[in-house]
Structure 1
Amino acid sequence: MKPTFHPAIHCVCALIFIGLLFAGQGRLAGVLYLMWIAVEIFVSAVRGKHGNDTER
Protein backbone atom coordinates (compact mmCIF):
# COMPACT_ATOMS: atom_id res chain seq x y z
CA MET A 1 0.00 0.00 0.00
CA LYS A 2 1.37 3.37 -0.98
CA PRO A 3 0.71 6.48 1.11
CA THR A 4 -2.32 8.29 -0.23
CA PHE A 5 -1.87 11.65 1.43
CA HIS A 6 0.98 14.15 1.32
CA PRO A 7 3.87 13.34 3.71
CA ALA A 8 3.36 16.66 5.53
CA ILE A 9 -0.12 15.52 6.57
CA HIS A 10 1.42 12.36 8.02
CA CYS A 11 3.93 14.42 10.01
CA VAL A 12 1.24 16.72 11.42
CA CYS A 13 -0.93 13.76 12.42
CA ALA A 14 2.03 12.02 14.05
CA LEU A 15 2.77 15.17 16.08
CA ILE A 16 -0.87 15.35 17.17
CA PHE A 17 -0.85 11.70 18.23
CA ILE A 18 2.42 12.11 20.14
CA GLY A 19 1.11 15.27 21.80
CA LEU A 20 -2.04 13.47 22.91
CA LEU A 21 0.03 10.57 24.19
CA PHE A 22 2.22 12.83 26.35
CA ALA A 23 -0.84 14.78 27.52
CA GLY A 24 -2.18 11.64 29.14
CA GLN A 25 -4.73 10.89 26.44
CA GLY A 26 -3.21 7.60 25.27
CA ARG A 27 -6.54 5.92 24.58
CA LEU A 28 -7.75 8.86 22.46
CA ALA A 29 -4.44 8.89 20.57
CA GLY A 30 -4.78 5.16 19.89
CA VAL A 31 -8.36 5.46 18.67
CA LEU A 32 -7.52 8.39 16.41
CA TYR A 33 -4.51 6.52 15.05
CA LEU A 34 -6.64 3.49 14.19
CA MET A 35 -9.21 5.76 12.54
CA TRP A 36 -6.41 7.41 10.53
CA ILE A 37 -5.18 4.00 9.33
CA ALA A 38 -8.74 2.97 8.38
CA VAL A 39 -9.21 6.16 6.35
CA GLU A 40 -5.81 5.66 4.70
CA ILE A 41 -6.71 2.10 3.67
CA PHE A 42 -10.17 3.12 2.44
CA VAL A 43 -8.87 6.01 0.34
CA SER A 44 -6.07 3.84 -1.00
CA ALA A 45 -8.57 1.17 -2.04
CA VAL A 46 -10.88 3.69 -3.68
CA ARG A 47 -8.08 5.41 -5.58
CA GLY A 48 -6.50 2.13 -6.62
CA LYS A 49 -3.04 2.80 -5.19
CA HIS A 50 -1.57 -0.48 -4.05
CA GLY A 51 2.14 -0.99 -4.48
CA ASN A 52 5.02 -0.80 -6.88
CA ASP A 53 4.71 -4.46 -7.82
CA THR A 54 1.25 -3.93 -9.35
CA GLU A 55 2.12 -0.76 -11.29
CA ARG A 56 4.30 -2.10 -14.07
Structure 2
Amino acid sequence: MALEMRGACERCAAPLDQNGLAYICSYECSYCGPCTRMLSHVCASCSGELVRRPTRV
Protein backbone atom coordinates (compact mmCIF):
# COMPACT_ATOMS: atom_id res chain seq x y z
CA MET A 1 0.00 0.00 0.00
CA ALA A 2 1.54 3.30 -1.10
CA LEU A 3 0.82 6.78 0.14
CA GLU A 4 -0.99 9.12 -2.21
CA MET A 5 1.60 11.84 -2.74
CA ARG A 6 -0.59 14.82 -3.55
CA GLY A 7 0.97 17.63 -5.53
CA ALA A 8 -0.57 20.65 -3.82
CA CYS A 9 -1.22 21.92 -0.30
CA GLU A 10 -4.82 21.31 0.76
CA ARG A 11 -5.04 24.74 2.41
CA CYS A 12 -3.24 27.20 0.12
CA ALA A 13 -2.77 25.14 -3.10
CA ALA A 14 1.01 25.71 -3.10
CA PRO A 15 2.79 23.07 -5.19
CA LEU A 16 4.38 20.24 -3.17
CA ASP A 17 7.51 18.74 -4.70
CA GLN A 18 7.57 14.93 -4.48
CA ASN A 19 10.96 15.09 -2.76
CA GLY A 20 10.44 18.37 -0.93
CA LEU A 21 9.20 19.21 2.54
CA ALA A 22 5.51 18.41 3.02
CA TYR A 23 3.32 17.14 5.83
CA ILE A 24 0.62 14.46 5.78
CA CYS A 25 -2.03 13.03 8.13
CA SER A 26 -3.22 9.42 8.38
CA TYR A 27 -5.90 10.16 5.75
CA GLU A 28 -3.20 11.43 3.35
CA CYS A 29 -4.26 15.09 3.51
CA SER A 30 -1.17 17.05 2.46
CA TYR A 31 0.07 20.47 3.58
CA CYS A 32 3.06 22.73 2.99
CA GLY A 33 5.37 23.70 5.85
CA PRO A 34 3.94 27.21 6.49
CA CYS A 35 0.34 25.94 6.57
CA THR A 36 1.33 23.04 8.85
CA ARG A 37 2.91 25.48 11.31
CA MET A 38 -0.15 27.76 11.13
CA LEU A 39 -2.37 24.75 11.89
CA SER A 40 -0.10 23.70 14.81
CA HIS A 41 0.50 20.32 13.12
CA VAL A 42 -3.23 19.42 13.26
CA CYS A 43 -5.05 18.51 10.03
CA ALA A 44 -7.81 20.99 9.15
CA SER A 45 -9.88 18.21 7.55
CA CYS A 46 -9.80 15.41 10.13
CA SER A 47 -8.03 16.89 13.20
CA GLY A 48 -5.32 14.21 12.88
CA GLU A 49 -1.63 14.79 13.54
CA LEU A 50 0.40 16.16 10.64
CA VAL A 51 3.82 14.55 10.31
CA ARG A 52 6.60 15.00 7.79
CA ARG A 53 5.81 13.18 4.57
CA PRO A 54 8.46 10.67 3.45
CA THR A 55 10.37 11.45 0.26
CA ARG A 56 10.66 9.20 -2.76
CA VAL A 57 13.94 8.22 -4.31
TM-score normalized with structure 1 length? 0.28
Report the structure, 1 or 2, having the larger strand content: 2
Report the structure, 1 or 2, having the larger helix content: 1
Larger Rg: 1
